[in-house]
């Protein structure tokens, strides 16, 4: 018991010292942190290179793993040809469609469920029932349900994005300050005006969070679905590369998936910030 | 901005009760108060005495369980722009600019864009916020936010202005500035003001009449008429006349405060 408070105070003593250091050398801190980050990235690639060149076997085995240089070479070759772009475009089309449908359904239903008790009672129970099922578990059923490969994969992608979007929208609506609703009614707002002027903008920060999470989940679902069924797409490409022993292509596929996921999340954040010009300062105040 | 004074509030034998945990809590009992148009009335009392509930009833947020509530001959049934409300804090729309907030009531009435912008600017000017049209509420200080709140309520030209401890969250210095600003604005718009506060100085300084309320269920214990001249400046607080009234009200408020405390212990 006596050791616990000591363990608690140790970092407290350390923290102010670190802070005064940063104040004393502000310029040093200015370049030091980016430098450390680049160094960390460099070390990662060196470790990858060493592990693959020396065919390390440390329970995890690196014998079949391509080296960074091989991956780079393969990437240059793939981006030089046309076939790889077909896969990328197929994935982007599915993500775009699935995400757009999930956004319309998720935000629309979320606003209704969050605001109207009748909608909550009638629409929410099936959503709660289906929510725990991972979207990937829908793949076999989806293939039977939908006539084309595109529609079945888009369905999986939609499912993945839908739940975080609808739940965050509901959460956002329920979190709206009742005082703002009162203020609006005392300024002459009717039901429709309250929905338009208070409920929708009030839920927007939460909706954007939902879209951001939903985008991440829809990529997971898309790649899984493409790996299981399909003839195009980055997920399909990556899985096939394993089958035909083109190991460098696996890593290129993985990296492309990562970059596309990152870019689409950045896009959501950018659009979100544009739609909510009141937020940045506000959040700084809150922090 | 408004020549004729309107806003006759007639509250007769008003009772407001809530059901809470299966029990009925009486917030206001047999409350009677008449205001003359253009009058400034303060409701003063300890916290939990029902003064905010009463204000919410005049606003139309809360339905009374007994008695009558009439504003300019019309029974109050629901919230409306004819009774402007200024809340304690955090009631501006964070996603609207200062101008957007003040324009809101006009937009609800279908006033055209250029017309409502020019009217909103007039009221922003009145509360001393010209130049802040494009700012968001989150970028303003607490005092400035409350000034926007006042302009937003007044732009609708309400019959009565209801204020629920509007300066309660401000620091003492800002509060004093805001009180003087409010009196200046009120002289211009000449609307009836019903002002809820638990601050004795504030009530006595601002109002024509101060209704001292009892502990819950809230009734009027004393109705003090303030014969101080207008316009008033902050210095009036130090006059013997003011001090005498303050002593009288203070004794009553303390007694009711003690009663609230005793009631809550039970």
Burial A99-129 (b: 16+ CB within 10 A, else e): bebbbeebbebbbbbbbeeeeeeeebeebee
Rounded to a whole number of angstroms, the distance between the first and last alpha carbons of chain B is 51
What pLDDT does residue B23 have? 85
Shortest Cα distance, chain A CAs vs residue B151, angstroms: 12
Distance in angstroms (rounded) separating the CA atoms of residues A139 and A153: 8
Map residue B21 onto helix, strand or coil. coil
Residue A24 has pLDDT above 60, yes or no: no
Phi, psi for B188 (deg, rounded to 5): -75, -50
Angle at B121 between CA B117 and CA B123, to 5 degrees: 125
Distance in angstroms (rounded) separating the CA atoms of residues A89 and A176: 39
| pLDDT over 70, % of chain B | 97
Decide: B13 and B181 in contact? Cβ < 8 Å.
no
What pLDDT does residue B146 have? 95
What pLDDT does residue A14 have? 38
* Shared-domain flag, residues B49 and B132: no
What Å distances lie between residue A98 and A87, A167, A176, A276, B249, CA to CA?
17, 17, 28, 24, 68
* Shared-domain flag, residues B32 and B122: no
* Domains parsed from chain A with CATH numbers: 79-276 (1.10.3720.10)
pLDDT band at A17 (very low <50, low <70, confident <90, very high): very low
Phi/psi-derived region of residue A17, left when phi > 0, alpha when psi is between -120 and 50, beta in every other case: alpha
Distance in angstroms (rounded) separating the CA atoms of residues A240 and B222: 87
For residue B121, is it within any domain?
yes
pLDDT band at B5 (very low <50, low <70, confident <90, very high): low
Decide: A157 and A93 in contact? Cβ < 8 Å.
no
* Shared-domain flag, residues B141 and B178: no
- Which residue among A182, A190, A193 sits closest to B61, beta carbon to beta carbon? A182
* Shared-domain flag, residues B52 and B142: no
pLDDT band at A27 (very low <50, low <70, confident <90, very high): low
What pLDDT does residue A109 have? 97
Mean pLDDT over B240-247 rounds to: 90
What pLDDT does residue B266 have? 43
Mean pLDDT over B171-179 rounds to: 92
Residue A11 has pLDDT above 70, yes or no: no
A175 vs B238: which has the higher pLDDT: A175
Distance in angstroms (rounded) separating the CA atoms of residues B148 and B155: 10
Burial B104-130 (b: 16+ CB within 10 A, else e): bbbbbeebeeeebbebbbebbebbebe
Shortest Cα distance, chain B CAs vs residue A196, angstroms: 11
Mean pLDDT over A60-74 rounds to: 92
pLDDT band at A261 (very low <50, low <70, confident <90, very high): very high
Instruction: Count CA within 13 A, CB hemisphere, residue B212.
Output: 22
Residue B86 has pLDDT above 80, yes or no: yes
* Shared-domain flag, residues B191 and B249: yes
Mean pLDDT over B75-97 rounds to: 92
For residue B60, is it within any domain?
yes
Of B109, B125, B157, which closes a domain? B157
Mean pLDDT over A41-46 rounds to: 94
Distance in angstroms (rounded) separating the CA atoms of residues A242 and A50: 22
- Which residue among A180, A188, A282 sits closest to B138, beta carbon to beta carbon? A282
* Shared-domain flag, residues B168 and B68: yes
For residue B4, is it within any domain?
no
What pLDDT does residue A213 have? 95
For residue B3, is it within any domain?
no
The pLDDT tens digits of the residues spanning A272-282 come to 999 999 986 44
Query: What's the number of domains chain B is made of?
Result: 2
Mean pLDDT over A22-38 rounds to: 72
Distance in angstroms (rounded) separating the CA atoms of residues B58 and B93: 22
* Shared-domain flag, residues B66 and B169: yes
pLDDT band at A6 (very low <50, low <70, confident <90, very high): very low
For residue B50, is it within any domain?
yes
Q: Average per-residue pLDDT in chain A?
A: 87
Map residue B222 onto helix, strand or coil. strand
Shortest Cα distance, chain A CAs vs residue B114, angstroms: 19
Of B141, B157, B173, which closes a domain? B157
Distance in angstroms (rounded) separating the CA atoms of residues B185 and A129: 57
Neighbours of B158 (CB within 10 A): 24
What pLDDT does residue B264 have? 58
Write out the residue range of the structural domain in which residue B127 sits.
Answer: 88-157
The pLDDT tens digits of the residues spanning A98-138 come to 999 999 999 999 999 999 999 999 999 999 999 999 988 99
Residue A15 has pLDDT above 60, yes or no: no
Of B116, B138, B157, which closes a domain? B157
Domain holding B43: CATH number? 3.40.50.300
* Shared-domain flag, residues B183 and B199: yes
pLDDT band at A227 (very low <50, low <70, confident <90, very high): very high
B63 in contact with A, Cβ within 8 Å: no
* Shared-domain flag, residues B72 and B152: no
- Contact (CB<8Å) B138/A198: no
B-chain residues near A197 (CB < 8 A):
93, 104
What pLDDT does residue A28 have? 58
Residue A19 has pLDDT above 50, yes or no: no
For residue B62, is it within any domain?
yes
Distance in angstroms (rounded) separating the CA atoms of residues B188 and B48: 33
B87 vs A11: which has the higher pLDDT: B87
Distance in angstroms (rounded) separating the CA atoms of residues B150 and B189: 12
| pLDDT over 90, % of chain A | 76
B156 in contact with A, Cβ within 8 Å: yes
Model confidence, pTM: 0.84
pLDDT band at B132 (very low <50, low <70, confident <90, very high): very high
A249 vs B264: which has the higher pLDDT: A249
Binding-face residues of B in 83-142 toward A, CB within 8 A:
83-85, 87, 90-96, 104-105, 108-109, 136-139
Decide: B127 and B151 in contact? Cβ < 8 Å.
yes
* Shared-domain flag, residues B242 and B196: yes
B-chain residues near A182 (CB < 8 A):
59, 61, 79, 85, 87, 91
Q: Which two tokens stand for residue A135?
A: 């979207």
* Shared-domain flag, residues B125 and B49: no
Q: Average per-residue pLDDT in chain B?
A: 90
* Shared-domain flag, residues B129 and B167: no
pLDDT band at B133 (very low <50, low <70, confident <90, very high): very high
For residue B21, is it within any domain?
yes
- Contact (CB<8Å) A202/B104: no
| pLDDT over 70, % of chain A | 87
For residue B52, is it within any domain?
yes
The pLDDT tens digits of the residues spanning B24-83 come to 888 999 999 999 999 999 999 888 788 999 999 999 999 999 999 999 988 999 999 999
Residue count of chain A, please give it.
287
Distance in angstroms (rounded) separating the CA atoms of residues A111 and B52: 31
Helix pair B172-189, B142-154: axis angle to 10 deg: 20
Nearest to residue B87, comparing CAs of B156, B168, B180?
B168
What is the ipTM for the molecules in this complex? 0.90
Mean pLDDT over A29-37 rounds to: 84
What pLDDT does residue B156 have? 93
What pLDDT does residue B235 have? 84
Map residue A159 onto helix, strand or coil. helix
Map residue B16 onto helix, strand or coil. strand
Torsion sign, CA atoms B103, B183, B158, A183: positive
Placement of tokens 């409920």 in the chain:
A199
Task: Find all residues with CB under 8 Å of A20, minimum gap 6, and list them.
Answer: none
DSSP letters along B92-160, please?
S-TTS-HHHHHHHHHHHTT--HHHHHHHHHHHHHHTT-TT-TT--GGGS-HHHHHHHHHHHHHTT--SE
DSSP letters along B26-92, please?
EEEEEEEEE--TT-EEEEE--TTSSHHHHHHHHHTSS--SEEEEEETTEE--S--TTEEEE-SSS-S
Burial A73-92 (b: 16+ CB within 10 A, else e): ebbeebeeeeebeebbebbe
Averaging pLDDT over each range in A25-29, A255-259, A274-278, B215-219, which range is the top one? A255-259
């Amino acid at each position: 018991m006596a050791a616990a408070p000591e363990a608690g105070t140790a970092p407290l003593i350390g923290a102010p010292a670190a802070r005064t250091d940063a104040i004393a050398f502000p310029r040093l801190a200015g370049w030091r942190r980016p430098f450390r980050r680049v160094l960390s990235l460099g070390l990662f690639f060196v470790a990858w290179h060493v592990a693959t060149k020396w065919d390390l076997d440390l329970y995890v085995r690196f014998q079949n793993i391509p080296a960074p240089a091989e991956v780079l070479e393969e990437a240059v070759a793939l981006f030089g040809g046309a076939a790889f772009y077909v896969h990328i475009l197929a994935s982007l089309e599915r993500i775009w469609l699935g995400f757009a449908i999930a956004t319309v359904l998720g935000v629309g239903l979320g606003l209704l469920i969050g605001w109207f008790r009748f909608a909550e009672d009638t629409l929410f129970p099936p959503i709660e029932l289906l929510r725990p099922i991972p979207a990937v578990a829908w793949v076999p059923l989806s293939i039977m349900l939908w006539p084309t490969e595109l529609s079945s994969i888009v369905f999986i992608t939609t499912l993945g994005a839908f739940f975080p979007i609808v739940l965050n929208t509901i959460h956002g609506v329920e979190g709206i300050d009742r005082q703002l609703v009162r203020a609006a009614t005392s300024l002459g707002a009717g039901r429709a005006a309250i929905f338009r002027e208070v409920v929708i903008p009030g839920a927007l920060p939460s909706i954007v969070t939902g879209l951001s999470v939903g985008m991440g989940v829809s990529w997971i679902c898309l790649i899984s679905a493409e790996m299981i069924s399909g003839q195009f797409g980055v997920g399909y490409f990556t899985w096939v590369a394993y089958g035909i022993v083109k190991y460098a292509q696996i890593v290129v596929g993985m990296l492309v998936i990562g970059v596309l996921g990152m870019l689409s999340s950045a896009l959501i954040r950018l659009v979100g910030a544009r739609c909510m010009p009141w937020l940045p300062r506000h959040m700084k105040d809150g922090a | 901005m408004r020549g004729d004074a309107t806003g006759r509030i007639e509250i007769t034998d008003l009772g407001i009760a809530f059901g809470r945990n299966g029990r009925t809590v009486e917030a206001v009992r047999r409350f009677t108060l008449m205001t003359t148009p253009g009058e400034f009335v303060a409701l003063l009392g300890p916290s939990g005495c029902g003064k905010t509930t009463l204000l919410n009833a005049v606003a139309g947020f809360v339905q009374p369980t007994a008695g009558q509530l009439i504003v300019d001959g019309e029974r109050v049934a629901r919230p409306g722009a004819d009774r402007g409300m200024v809340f304690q804090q955090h009631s501006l729309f964070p996603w609207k600019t200062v101008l957007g907030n003040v324009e809101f009531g006009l937009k609800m009435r279908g006033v055209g864009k250029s017309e409502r912008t020019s009217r909103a600017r007039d009221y922003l000017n009145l509360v001393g916020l010209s130049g802040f049209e494009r700012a968001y509420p989150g970028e303003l200080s607490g005092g400035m936010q409350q000034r926007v709140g006042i302009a937003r309520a007044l732009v609708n030209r309400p019959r009565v202005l209801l204020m629920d401890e509007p300066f309660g969250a401000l620091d003492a210095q800002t509060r004093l500035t805001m009180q003087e600003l409010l009196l200046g604005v009120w002289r211009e718009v000449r609307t009836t003001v019903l002002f809820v506060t638990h601050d004795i100085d504030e009530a006595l300084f601002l109002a024509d009449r101060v209704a001292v309320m009892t502990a819950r269920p809230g009734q009027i214990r004393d109705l003090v008429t303030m014969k101080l001249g207008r316009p008033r400046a902050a210095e009036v607080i130090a006059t013997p006349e003011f001090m005498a009234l303050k002593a009288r009200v203070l004794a009553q408020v303390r007694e009711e405060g003690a009663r609230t405390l005793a009631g809550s212990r039970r």
